[in-house]
């Protein structure tokens, strides 16, 4: 983008939509059946628009944020700060909002929308605008806790036969080893990982030592989000790489985790870290340290999914992510075409400008729960 081609933010349109998931999604912290999703749409003074999706959950059980807190933070704090800071580049949004502590999913929704707008203004696909280089991204799936091990195996069968390259299952105390054993008995060689969403403590080290026998690709977030020290103690006692999700909120967290040896893999989620700029800083640091990263998911609708695809094209995303086809979640997505995954378990990033998918405004209207328009004019 040439220097005179700066963004003049005019308006922010916030819309909350509600979408039923095709299947409930259960983790160690709870069960989700419907998503409440905030869409941030930013307009420049010429009427061009960019879209972001807030990845905050309905309840504060994954992290402290919720759809309600994100709405409040964006309306009351993020929008006014953007006006005051006279933001002209997507890369400046993070600094403009830095005074707001935490609440990165709220800030990240707006940040991502400005990146989409800037990419469109430059007539570039967002993934290229971000510096992405991958012509295809590798896809895995995250499978929630099921009623029985048998039902879990049926889900695994379906995903493997669809072509997904990696299976991740959710575990929690009492529902861990038997699930891994059951899957490994049927699939000795697939890429398989487990995600505990912080359900364990260091006193569970014997379980993790047992899991070491099953050739897992990684164990995701076994311990508490703030506990880099205990993760480091655990990693030193087991062979399977630990991957951190909830613990990594900033580039500094990534640095600290790698310095302490708390993990050997990092899950990057756009919302959790506050947007593309911080995600890229974490990515760059991991690449420098030869640490593989992959893109996590938060049961996103199409706009969030499209941003995840763009981010996943950065060179360091060398492991299959949790970004999968729209049809695994939604009867009808809010973008067109929906995200599709090939028989080889790959997504081709779109060629169009910005996020590269058409946003189905009519669909959004039909799912709308509330809307607020906020002027961003300086
Ligand atoms: O820990 O990765 C997680 C969903 C909601 C909250 C946390 C997590 C997840 C997933 C689902 O694993 C990933 C997806 O399919 O979007
Ligand atoms: Mg996780």
What confidence score (pLDDT) does residue 86 get?
A: 84
Neighbouring CB atoms inside 10 A of 78's CB total 24
What pLDDT, on the 0 to 100 scale, is given for residue 331?
A: 98
Catalytic residue among 128, 233, 269, 368: 269
CB 118 within 8 Å of CB 89? yes
Angle at 312 between CA 309 and CA 313, to 5 degrees: 95
Residue range 35-79, pLDDT digits in tens: 999 999 999 999 999 999 999 999 999 999 999 999 999 999 999
The greatest distance separating any two alpha carbons of the chain, rounded to the nearest whole angstrom, comes to 62
**Rounded to the nearest whole angstrom, what is the distance from the C-alpha of residue 49 to the centroid of ligand 2?**
31
CATH of domain 129-347: 3.20.20.120
The reported pLDDT for the residue numbered 4 is 55
Indicate if 368 belongs to the active site: no
Which residues have C-beta within 8 Å of that of residue 341, sequence separation ≥ 6? 139, 162, 163, 164, 324, 325, 347
Positions in the chain short of pLDDT 70? 1-4
Give 116-134 pLDDT, tens digit per residue.
999 999 999 999 999 999 9
Domain spanning 9-124+358-375 has what CATH number?
Answer: 3.30.390.10
Q: Output the CA 222–ligand 2 centroid distance in Å.
A: 9
Verify whether residue 128 is a known catalytic residue.
no
Give the end-to-end CA distance of the chain in Å, rounded to a whole number. Answer: 22
Q: Where are the chain's structural domains? A: 9-124+358-375, 129-347
pLDDT tens readout for residues 232-274: 999 999 999 999 999 999 999 999 999 999 999 999 999 999 9
Report yes or no: 325 and 340 within 8 Å, Cβ to Cβ: yes
């Amino acid at each position: 983008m040439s220097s005179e081609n700066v963004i003049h933010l005019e308006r922010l349109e916030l819309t909350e939509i509600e979408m039923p998931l095709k299947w409930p999604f259960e983790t160690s912290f709870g069960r989700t059946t419907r998503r409440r999703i905030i869409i941030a749409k930013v307009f420049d003074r010429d009427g061009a628009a960019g879209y972001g999706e807030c990845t905050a959950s309905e309840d504060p059980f994954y992290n402290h944020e919720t759809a309600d807190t994100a709405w409040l933070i964006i309306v009351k704090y993020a929008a006014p700060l953007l006006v005051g800071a006279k933001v002209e580049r997507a890369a400046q949004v993070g600094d403009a909002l830095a005074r707001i502590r935490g609440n990165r999913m709220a800030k990240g929704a707006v940040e991502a929308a400005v990146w989409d707008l800037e990419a469109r203004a430059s007539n570039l696909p967002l993934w290229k605008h971000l510096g992405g280089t991958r012509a295809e991204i590798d896809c895995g799936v995250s499978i929630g806790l099921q009623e029985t091990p048998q039902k879990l195996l049926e889900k695994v069968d379906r995903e493997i036969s669809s072509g997904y390259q990696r299976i991740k299952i959710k575990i929690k105390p009492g529902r861990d080893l038997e699930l891994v054993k059951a899957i490994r008995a049927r699939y000795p060689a697939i890429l398989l990982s487990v995600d505990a969403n912080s359900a364990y403590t260091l006193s569970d080290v014997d379980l993790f030592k047992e899991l070491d026998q099953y050739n897992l690709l990684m164990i995701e977030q076994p311990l508490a989000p703030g506990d880099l020290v205990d993760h480091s103690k655990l990693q030193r006692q087991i062979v399977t790489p630990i991957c951190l999700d909830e613990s990594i909120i900033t580039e500094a967290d990534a640095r600290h985790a790698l310095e302490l040896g708390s993990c050997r893999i990092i899950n990057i989620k756009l919302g959790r870290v506050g947007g593309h700029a911080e995600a890229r800083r974490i990515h760059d640091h991991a690449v420098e340290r030869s640490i593989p990263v992959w893109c996590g998911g938060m049961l996103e609708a199409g706009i969030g999914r499209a941003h995840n695809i763009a981010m996943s094209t950065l060179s360091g995303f060398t492991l299959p992510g949790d970004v999968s086809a729209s049809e695994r979640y939604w009867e009808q997505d809010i973008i067109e075409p929906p995200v599709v995954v090939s028989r080889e378990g790959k997504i081709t990033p779109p060629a169009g400008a910005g996020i590269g998918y058409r946003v189905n405004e009519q669909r959004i209207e039909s799912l709308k729960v509330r809307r607020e328009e906020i002027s961003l004019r300086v």
